[in-house]
Each structure stands twice: as structure tokens, then as C-alpha cells.
Amino acid sequence: MTRGVMSKRLLNNAYVYSFLRDPSALAGACLMAFFAVCALTAPWLAPMDPYDLMTIDLGNFLLPPAWMEGGSLAFPLGTDDQGRGILSTILFGLQTSLMVGFTVVLVCSVAGIVLGMAGGYYGGLLDAVIMRCADTVFSFSTTLLAILLLGVFESRNIWTVIFAICIAGWVKYARTIRGSVLEVREAAYVTAARASGAGDFRILFRHILPNALPPIFVLMAVDLAVVIMLESTLSFLGVGVPITEPSLGMMISIGKNYIYAGMWWLVAFPGLTLILLVVAINLFSDWLRDEMNPKLARQN
């Protein structure tokens, strides 16, 4: 297949077509891509490494942004109380946010799919145990459970944060997929597959899963924004990533102490970055939800 044919096929795809014609989805995706590139290239892009003690000069603490009086061009968005450049710390903090976000969403969706499919397909005791766990986790709510889990952990680093959010976050996926499995378990095509001698494994992954995936994609997109907000909330509270690692939530928590002194830039820039990132993801997931929901498509 030549490249010309490939790109033509891509353009004729219904999803690509509607995506390219939805300005807010495009804007959201572009903004997301921009942040992702910034995060990936942070070591080269950032004017300094905010967590390399050699490059930090405490003498540069609490400098205002470059365009204000007393600002320095070396620190375009000013510095924090340790003399770290705000811009550099934001870039490295984005790395943490996106890394936690994507890892959690991937792990949670895989765990949720496996547990939800097992419970929905086999039913019985297995289903009862899984769903009781799910109900307990659900009634505690993701945020509360993550805070409490991190509260009882002895040491906290980026992996314990990911672990805690995963423990608290798999339920949505498991419930969604279980619902879909219950719906199609007795469907004609599943019975047909079974009659033709397909094993449970093959039925689950080749026949049931592909039909249950669209809502999972939507959930993953929505969840990415939720997880990124949750990570920054945890770091803000001081139970997230340790103080030696960059994080948007941590920056805001440090900056909070200085807003009474009129030093707004410590909070404003990381806060704005976080909001833009979340809004970008939400714009994209709104489009995805409309696109993958056949019920809505019929109404329009």
C-alpha cells in the first residue's frame, strides 16, 4: 500500500473527518500535544534544572517575572523561595503530572477491564467479591481513598502516588466493562462463537472486548484530567510526590504562603498551566464522548 492511499484512507475515516472539523476538539488536542512536547523536552527546553543543586542560587529567591521591575531575563516567569525558576519547574512538573496521569489511566483501565470482564463473564462468587470491593472503594470516593492510603504509607514517592490512585481508581472501568459484558453475554454472536468451539479467553478478547471498548476510551480521556487534578491535589496537601521532585501541586502549595506578600507569580503560572492542561483534555474528551455515543448521534 502506498503512502498516498494510506493518507486518503485516513482522511476518509469518519472519526478523523469529524475531528478535523471540530475546532474545540482540535484546539484541545493541539494544546495537549504542546504540553506533552514541553514535558518531554523539558531537560533541553528549560533554562535550568530546578532540582540540580549546583545550578540553584539562593540569592535569586523570589524574583518577579522578567517584565516586572527587578525581574531577570534568566528567569522569564520569576523564581520561588529557593531560587528555582518558575518556568523550569513548571516544565519538569508537567513531566510528573503527565507521567502519573498516563500511567494511572493505563494501569487502571487494564486492571478494570480484566476484573470487570472476569466478574461479568463468570458471575457467581468471583463477581460478588469483585463487586463488593468495587462498592467499598466507590463509596469512599477516589480522592478520599487516595489521601487515606498515602496517609498510611511509610514513604511517599511518585510510585506510591501512582499505586494509591490506581487502587482508588480502577472501579469505574470495572463497572463499565462489567455492564457491557452482562449485556452481550447471551447475545447471538457470543453463543455462535461458543458453538464454533471458541474458548472463554478467545470469546472474551476477540468477541466481547472490541464491542465494549468505546465507552472505555471515553472514560480514559475523562479520567486523565481527573487523575492529573488528583495528583496535584495530593501534592498540594503534602501527601503526594516528595518535596525533592517537581510537581505543579507542590509549587502552588509553596506559592500559597507568599500570596499575602503580593507575590502572585508563584501560584498564578503553575495554576494556569494546570487549568489549561485540564481544560484541553476536557475539550478533547467532550468530542470523544459525543463521537463514540451512538445514542447522541441519533438525536442530532
Residues that bind another protein (CB under 8 A): 132, 135-136, 138-145, 147-154, 225, 229, 232-233, 236-239, 249, 252, 256, 259-260, 262, 264, 267, 271, 274-275, 278-279, 282
Could you tell me the CA-to-CA distances from 28 to 23, 62, 63, 196, 218 in Å, in that order? 8, 33, 32, 45, 15
Please report where in the chains the cell 492510603 appears, as a residue: 149
- Measured from the CB of residue 117, what is the shortest distance to another protein in angstroms? 22
CB nearer another protein, residue 168 or residue 208: 168
Reduce the DSSP state of residue 85 to 3 states and report it.
strand
Positive or negative CA dihedral for 116, 117, 122, 123? positive
- Measured from the CB of residue 282, what is the shortest distance to another protein in angstroms? 6
- Measured from the CB of residue 10, what is the shortest distance to another protein in angstroms? 31
**85 φ/ψ angles, rounded to the nearest 5 degrees:** -70, 135
- Measured from the CB of residue 175, what is the shortest distance to another protein in angstroms? 13
Number of residues assigned to the chain: 300
CB nearer another protein, residue 58 or residue 259: 259
Q: How many CA atoms lie within 13 A of 69 on its CB side?
A: 0
CB nearer another protein, residue 236 or residue 287: 236
- Measured from the CB of residue 24, what is the shortest distance to another protein in angstroms? 11
